Amino acid sequence: MPDIERLVNDFVAKLSKRKVEGSQATSRLTAELLRSVVSLQRLPPTNSAAVLIEAVRGVGVKLVAANPVELAVGNIVRRVLHIIREEDLSLLTSKTSDLDLSAASDDEGTIDQDFDPTQSAAAAAAAAKSFLQPPSLHALLENMLDKAIPSNNYTSSSGGDSEEKSKADKLARTRKLKHDVIEAINILIEDIDTCHELIAEQAVEHIHQNEVILTLGSSRTAFEFLCAAKEKKRSFRVVVAEGSPRYQGHALAKELVSRGLQTIVVTDSAVFAMISRVNMVIVGVHAVMANGGVIAPVGMNMVALAAQKHAVPFVVVAGIHKLCPSYPHNPEVCLNDMRSPSELLEFGRFSNCKEFGMDSGAPLQVVNPGFDYVAPELVSLLITDIGGHNPSYMYRLISDYYSADDFDLQGRIHK
């Protein structure tokens, strides 16, 4: 059985040396790693969910620190934490529903706060017993009416009948929790794998006959999206901006042509000249922030501004794993990746201009940022696995996929 620490360190090393790149690959690997963390974690019979959460969070903090620029890592860690909370909750609900129907009656839209010590007194008491369902509005009201009910239930279930039965019960529950979490992570991995198809399915709704689509650089999601529309017998043209300095657009254009799409390659600087002929801009991005703004390959902001000027829809396609629950703060610096200047120009050719030894004033400086931040006002539509959304709707998606407790992985909220 592989040592979990070693697995983690391996992955941390890979992340920090930038050997794993691309949000899909990264998030998939992260999910797989966390799955093994969960499966190898020894759980105590009581409070097992909390132990699991601590374990995953501990690993998560390390992973995020290894490559803070790749936001997908943090997203997946938070997703897994959310899964654990949900599974624990549903187990509890089923458990308590056996015992107390009234308590399980209303668990729709609850906020899980079972391990948060800063909760209301009633909830805290319930959490300590680790048995009670988190307080839904209904349950809270019930508790207010009769605080004795949960504790009575507890004593009747474990203390009342027999100690051994309850122990076996707990063990089974722990095992069940682990199993369910792993199952859920498997579904998450599957989601990550299939996100392209799910997004691509929506292509025909957005791309119409004889349209001109513009894209920048290369993104697998955008590529699949375009191909899906092509397969549905839509005929349209694609303008590919090459995406300096990595020029991934060249590769994309090659592939699009091999799929029989009419493709035009332009330089990034020609985007504004082309935009008036374009019906829609479709691009893949690096991450989607909580406010609906996106972190995208460098040059994207220029495209978005050009699109806005000509009222061309700027459509972003992104798997839900790219949705990040944090808000961008100083994104040009904090969320950027300063890459090697050698992507821009060859070192040797300019070595004379970089002379620090001479007193000839400031040396040549080459800056190569990896990403642009596109403000939400410039994004017309975000297409994810689960459909198209307005950027302003992102906060709602975030509350569906993440727990508020996990937004800060360091756990600084918890005093």
Question: Which residues of this chain interact with another protein, rule CB under 8 A?
Answer: 6, 10, 16-21, 65-66, 333, 338-343, 346-349, 351-352, 354-359, 363, 365-366, 368
Nearer to another protein, 28 or 230 (CB): 28
| 3-class SS of residue 347 | coil
Nearer to another protein, 1 or 358 (CB): 358
Strands of the 287-288 sheet, one edge to the other: 287-288, 294-297, 371-374
In the complex, least distance from residue 78 CB atom to another protein, rounded to whole angstroms: 21
> Angle formed by the axes of helices 71-99 and 23-40, to 10°?
40
For residue 72, give both structure tokens: 């997908």
Nearer to another protein, 109 or 357 (CB): 357
Rounded CA separation 202/383 (Å): 8
For residue 240, give both structure tokens: 């590919």
In the complex, least distance from residue 2 CB atom to another protein, rounded to whole angstroms: 10
In the complex, least distance from residue 54 CB atom to another protein, rounded to whole angstroms: 23
Asked whether the beta carbons of 129 and 47 are under 8 A apart, the reply is no
Rounded CA separation 224/261 (Å): 12
Nearer to another protein, 183 or 355 (CB): 355
In the complex, least distance from residue 286 CB atom to another protein, rounded to whole angstroms: 16
Asked whether the beta carbons of 333 and 404 are under 8 A apart, the reply is no
In angstroms, the Cα distances linking 41 to 65, 80, 181 are 22, 14, 12
Asked whether the beta carbons of 403 and 114 are under 8 A apart, the reply is no
Instruction: Please give the full DSSP string across 58-95, using - where no structure is assigned.
Output: HHHHHHHHH-TT-HHHHHHHHHHHHHHHHHHHHHHHHH
In the complex, least distance from residue 348 CB atom to another protein, rounded to whole angstroms: 3
Asked whether the beta carbons of 58 and 12 are under 8 A apart, the reply is no
Q: Which residue has the tokens 């699009």?
A: 256
Nearer to another protein, 251 or 274 (CB): 251
Nearer to another protein, 233 or 349 (CB): 349
Rounded CA separation 73/67 (Å): 8
* Phi, psi for residue 381 in degrees, rounded to 5: -155, 140
In the complex, least distance from residue 63 CB atom to another protein, rounded to whole angstroms: 12
In the complex, least distance from residue 332 CB atom to another protein, rounded to whole angstroms: 9
* Phi, psi for residue 130 in degrees, rounded to 5: 50, 35
Nearer to another protein, 42 or 329 (CB): 329
Rounded CA separation 85/403 (Å): 8
Q: How many CA atoms lie within 13 A of 369 on its CB side?
A: 16
Nearer to another protein, 190 or 346 (CB): 346
Nearer to another protein, 180 or 337 (CB): 337
In the complex, least distance from residue 97 CB atom to another protein, rounded to whole angstroms: 47
